[in-house]
Amino acid sequence: MAEAKKVENGHKNNDNSNINSIAGRFKEVIKESRAEYFDIVLTHIDPDSLGAAFGLQAAIESIIEEGSKVRIYADAVFANAQNRTIANIYDLERKIIPLDEYKNEDNSRLVLVDSSKLFDSRVTALEGMQPLIIIDHHRENNNDVLGEEKNMFYWVEDVGATSTLVFELAQAVGVDFGDEKNGFVATLLAMGIRTDTKSLLHCTKRDVYAYGQLLEHLNSQELRQLVRYTLPPRYYDNLEYALRTRKQRGPRIVTGIGVIPSEEADDVATIADYLLRIEGGSLVVVWAIIKDSKQVRIAARCSDPSVNLNAFLKKRFGNDSAGSKFTPGGHGEGGALITLNLGPLMIEGSEEVRAKVEDMVQTSIRELVFLD
């Protein structure tokens, strides 16, 4: 059997000189696995993870024997407006299997894309499993990052988007993006790159090159729809609440959007991105209580490269609950997820009780962020 297929730092800029050897090892791992099902599991949904998943599906399908199949599993809830737009245009609810139906079967192999760890509080079903393939665009600052094992393909490089890596790999194994059936894949990959690099502001030369190549094959009308997606009125309500209740101390800004349903959970990160542009602020923390799961979701953004955002969050919210990454532009992006052990009090209790819980969370997070 082949040794572990680990690839790191395979390219410099847009130089694809090493991609053929990477693609060769990728093919070898897939063929040696003799799996009937290749299960791509998304630990989160955003344009980059979706683009990378469908791009990787096309790449694996170009290699496997007849009778094998590639399946994509993800949370069935497309929480924010952009993800819902993508799902509606490409009918993704028929193409993606709900994550709660995922099972570890003897004839299937796990594939992780846009993630490189199993001990993820968002997807507890993966704990203890060994993936066949891992492709991610940033190294986790956690001890639970998966390392090299025998007979697996592990490719992690610091580029702007996982979709960039998947495009390079798919192109190298012979995926024809000019083929009509792959047209939507090209558009999704381009959207993944555009979104995760903040419209190519935080990117590498490889991201720019991949995006340029994909522009030749994507559906420009669909891309415009994905970029100019409409936002629901509730987003603006949440933004107004966050602006009205924000507190700033020096460069640190803290605010919340109260108790919200899971469908609005992504507003936390979207608003954090927006508030990072406030003059004089370089670290933003936005929180919300997710009514359905009884959890506090926290999003943090930092534009000061001298601040270790990962250490900042873990010190305040716990090693197992918080984490962050760096973008190619040097910005920190991270957050935390904390379970409220209050039983039914927060949700089914009176408005007075709920208001007190919300006030407690707000006060605690402010004190933690303004600590030091």
Condensed to tens digits (0 to 9), the pLDDT of residues 148-172 reads 566 899 999 989 999 999 999 999 9
pLDDT at 27 exceeding the cut of 70 = yes
Q: In this structure, which CATH number among 3.90.1640.10, 3.40.50.150, 3.40.50.300, 3.40.640.10 belongs to the domain 5-227?
A: 3.90.1640.10
CATH architecture of the domain covering 233-369: Roll (3.10)
- Domain limits, CATH 3.90.1640.10, in the chain: 5-227
pLDDT average, residue stretch 33-59: 96
Where would I find the beta strands (DSSP E) of the chain?
Answer: 5-7, 37-41, 69-74, 97-98, 108-113, 133-136, 153-156, 247-249, 252-260, 283-290, 295-302, 322-326, 332-339
Cα distance between residue 313 and residue 254, in whole Å: 13
Cα distance between residue 205 and residue 16, in whole Å: 12
pLDDT range class, residue 141, cuts 50, 70, 90:
very low
- Domain limits, CATH 3.10.310.30, in the chain: 233-369
Q: Which carries the bigger pLDDT value, residue 216 or residue 12? A: 216
pLDDT range class, residue 372, cuts 50, 70, 90:
confident
pLDDT average, residue stretch 299-327: 91
Cα distance between residue 111 and residue 240, in whole Å: 40
pLDDT range class, residue 13, cuts 50, 70, 90:
very low
